[in-house]
Amino acid sequence: MAQTSAIISELKRQLRSHGLTYQHVANALGLSEASVKRLFSEKQFSLKRLDQVCTLMGMEISDLVRKLAPEPKVQQLTLEQEQELVSDVCLLLVAVCAMNRWQFQEIHQVYELSETDLIGHLAKLDRMGVLELLPGNRFKLLVSHDFAWQPGGPIQKFFEAEVQQDFLKCRFNHPGELRLFVSGMLSTQSNEAVQQKLNRLALEFRHCHEEDLALPLEHRFGVSLLMAMRPWEIEAFDRFRRPEAFKDYPPYSR
C-alpha cells in the first residue's frame, strides 16, 4: 500500500509539472472529473488507466517508477543565500512563487516581470540550488517538503520587520480570516501536548497545500497561518511582579 501511495503521489507531481489538471485526465480516460478525483483519493488505479495517464504526459509507467528514486533535496539555504533573497524583493517574490509550485507563465501573467527578468531570477535560483531550470522555461523545485528558513536568519528578520506587522494589521472578520487568542495557566506537560497538536496542524496545512496543487491557479489563494505559543505575561503586569515571585520555565532560566 505504501508503494501504491508513492506511485500515485508521484503521478500527481508529474501531472502538475506537465501543466495537466484532473479535467485533462478525465478527458483522456473518458470519465467525469469527480470520478478522477475519487480514483486519486482512493488510489484505485488499474494498470490500464495508469498507462493511459502516463501516455497523456508522454511517459511510460517505468519512467514514473524510476522517478520514485530519492533525489537530493535542499533543506535549508545558507545565511548568504537568504541575504541575497531579501536584498532583491523581485528575486524573493519569484522564489516564493516557485516554492508554491507556480509555473513560469503563471508568474509572468500575474506579476509585472518581463520574460527576460523572470528567466534571470530563475537562473539565480538555479545557481542557489532552489530549483533546476529546464528547457521551455520550465523548472523543477529542489527544496524538500520540510524545508525551513535559518532560525534568526535574514528571511526571519525580514518577516519580523516587514511582514509580521502587515499580516496582523487586520480585523480578521472577513471570509477566510480567523484570529484566535486564548490564555491560561498550563503545566509544562500540557504546554508540550498543545505544541504537538500545533505541529500536527502545521503538517495538515502542508498536506492541504500539496493536494490543492492539482487545482488551477485561479482556484487557489495565498493563505498564511501564524501560530505562536510561549510562557508569557503582558509587560504591563509583569513589571509589577515581586522579584521573588518570578518563576523559571524549565529548562530555560530567566
Backbone angles phi, psi at 234, to 5 degrees: -55, 135
| Domain locations in the chain as residue ranges | 2-66, 72-168, 170-254
The radius of gyration of the chain's CA atoms, rounded to the nearest angstrom, is 23
Q: How do residues 139-193 score in pLDDT, each as one tens digit?
A: 999 998 778 899 999 999 998 888 888 888 889 999 999 999 999 999 999 998 9
Predicted local confidence at residue 253, as pLDDT: 46
Q: Does domain 2-66 have CATH number 3.40.50.300?
A: no
Q: How far apart are CA 71 and CA 172, in angstroms?
A: 41
The residues, any chain, with a CB within 8 Å of residue 24's CB and separated by 6 or more, are 15, 56
Across the range 76-87, mean pLDDT stands at: 96
Q: How do residues 35-75 score in pLDDT, each as one tens digit?
A: 999 888 888 888 899 999 998 888 888 888 877 766 658 88
Please give the class, per CATH, of domain 72-168.
mainly alpha
Which element (helix H / strand E) includes 138?
strand 138-141
